[in-house]
Amino acid sequence: MDNEKLSLPNYNIPQDIENVVAITTLDRLYNWGRRSSVWPLMFGLACCAIEMIAAQTARYDMARFGMEVMRPTPRQADMMLVSGTVTKKMLPSIIRLYNQMPEPKYVVAMGACASSGGPFKEGYNVVAGIDKFLPVDVYIPGCPPTPQALIAGMIKLQEKIDKESISKVRWYNKEKFDGNYVPMPLLGPDLIDVRRNTEIRDIAAKKTTQESA
């Protein structure tokens, strides 16, 4: 970011130190640092991942936005790019990866599949959108989204980061912040979302009574 964007406007800096000193808010500095080094988790699920790789290569070059450092371990990643179809069999692993990522963390749903199930929504092994389990920050439409669309989505994420304030972000809020853990779903006769256990039992029980009636 150049000086003009970083400095608060309307604050007079003596002319002779203008290029040396910048006066800004802590929020701006904090966000500027974070938005320019969003490290994605190196993690591809399906066809969309190929476009994600393409976006990293010379022609599109995501490095221009500080997003080229793909980390294979979730412990070092800031952003999870859900690039592809989320299947029921894969979901527990995705949730585990998400839980292992330290805050601040963001989730981007890339493509129709990650956003809603896409062309495979009706499939018996497909989760109809990662947002049923994880809080999604940006949705990128397309099947697959072109690398340009992916970059546009990343810029949207940067805009979101720009709006955050260090005094309000959840990860510094000691009283309220609970670590943002998502309970692990289980693989039973079908995918079991443990947050909905009672509900599932009730509906399954109702089915029996209906059929026996």
Partner 1 sequence: MATATQTQTVDLAARFPGMVSADTRPGYTGFIVNKDNLIEVATAVRDEFGFDLMTAVTGVDYIAENKMEVVYHAFKTTGGAGLVFKVQVERVDPIEVPSLINIWPGVDFQEREAWDLYGIKFTGHPDLRRILMWEGFEGHPLRKDWKEPFYEEDVKPYKSRWPEGNHTYAEEKNPYRDNLNFPEGFDPEKFTVDKEEDLYLSLERDTAKDVDGSMKTEHIVVNMGPHHPSTHGVLRVAVTLDGETIIGLKPVMGYLHRNHDKIGERNTYLQIIPYTDRLDYFNSMSNNFGYVTTIEKLMKIQVAERAEYIRVIMAELSRVQNHLIFIGMLMNDLGTMYTPSLYAFEERELVLDIFEAVSGTRMMCNYFRFGGVVRDIPDYVLQKIKDLVFERLPAKTDEMERFLNENEVLVARLKGIHVLNAEDAIKYSVTGPVLRATGVPYDLRRADPYSIYDRFDFDVAVRHNGDMMDNYLIRFDEIRQSLRILEQALKQIPQGPINSQKAAYQVRVPAGEAYGRIESPKGELGFYVVSNGKPNPYRYHVRPASFVNLTAVESMCKGSKIADFVALLAMLDIVMGELDR
What does the alpha-carbon distance between residue 62 and residue 154 come to, in Å, rounded to a whole number?
9
Cis peptide before 104 (omega within 30 of 0): yes
What does the alpha-carbon distance between residue 60 and residue 63 come to, in Å, rounded to a whole number?
9
**By C-beta, is 131 or 164 nearer to partner 1?**
131
Structure tokens at 196: 């909905």
Residue keyed to tokens 């599949």: 113
195 is a site residue for partner 1 (CB under 8 A): no
Cα angle 130, 135, 137; round to 5:
100
Given 8, 23, 26, 143, the residue binding partner 1 (CB under 8 A): 143
54 is a site residue for ligand SF4 (CB under 6 A): no
Least Cβ distance, residue 180 to partner 1 (angstroms): 19
Given 1, 6, 13, 97, the residue binding partner 1 (CB under 8 A): 97
Least Cβ distance, residue 127 to ligand SF4 (angstroms): 12
118 is a site residue for ligand SF4 (CB under 6 A): yes
Q: Are 101 and 75 in contact (CB under 8 A)?
A: yes
Within 58-87, which residues bind partner 1 (CB under 8 A)?
Answer: 58-59, 72, 84-85, 87
What does the alpha-carbon distance between residue 44 and residue 9 come to, in Å, rounded to a whole number?
42
Q: Give the interface with ligand SF4 as residue ranges (CB under 6 A).
A: 46-48, 84-85, 111-113, 118-119, 143-144
